[in-house]
Amino acid sequence: MLVYRLYKSTYIAEPLSAEGARRAGGRWNPKGFPILYTSATPELALLEVIAHLNPSFIPLFHLLVLDIPDDHRHIALADLPPSWQDETQDEAMQVYLSDWLKKPDALTVSVPSAIVNRSRNYLIHTAYPGFFERVHIVENTPFRIDTRVINTSF
């Protein structure tokens, strides 16, 4: 299965590093846990990045296309608390997958996107045994973000 990740080009030397998520945490992980946030489509990966961009400065990005095994743990929308998409709930959601974060029993967990909940994001645990044998880079190319998609003048 192919998944997509946009990442800042300054990290081109280590495209599979999850150092940013380990240092800063994210919706699905607290600080200290290295996971890669990927998406089902390049378009969703772009939306996920745009949600966190400062429109006054757009850094250079690369699109990373990964081939990962089809088997993954699936978190259904119906299994999540009603306010899971609310940004004020990040702490609560960071512990939602705590067992998997501490002891990864699956390489990948599929979760709904908080931006488009009908679409899926795939969290890849870099500490999973055999990570480098099971995750393959298919493509790693520069990706230009068209400034029209973050135009704040309307």
pLDDT recorded at residue 113: 96
Whether residue 42 lies inside any domain: the answer is: yes
Whether residue 9 lies inside any domain: the answer is: yes
Strand 108-112 and strand 61-67: pairing?
unpaired
- Residues 98-126 pLDDT 10s: 999 999 999 999 999 999 999 999 999 99
Whether residue 154 lies inside any domain: the answer is: no
123 compared with 93, residue with greater pLDDT: 123
pLDDT at residue 154 is higher than 80: no
Map tokens 């959601």 to a residue.
93
Range of the structural domain that residue 52 is part of: 1-62+72-103
CA angle 85, 114, 40 (to 5 degrees): 160
CA distances from 79 to 60, 75, 125, 146, 148 (A): 36, 7, 21, 36, 36
Q: Say what the pTM is.
A: 0.93
Whether residue 33 lies inside any domain: the answer is: yes
Whether residue 41 lies inside any domain: the answer is: yes
Please provide the DSSP assignment of the chain as one string.
-EEEEEEEGGGTT-TT--HHHHHH--SS--TT--EEEEESSHHHHHHHHHTT-BTTB---EEEEEEE--S--EE--GGGS-TTTTSGGGHHHHHTTTHHHHHS-SSSEEEEE-SSSTTSEEEEEETTSTTHHHH-EEEEEEEEPPPGGGG----
Whether residue 150 lies inside any domain: the answer is: no
Number of domains in the chain: 1
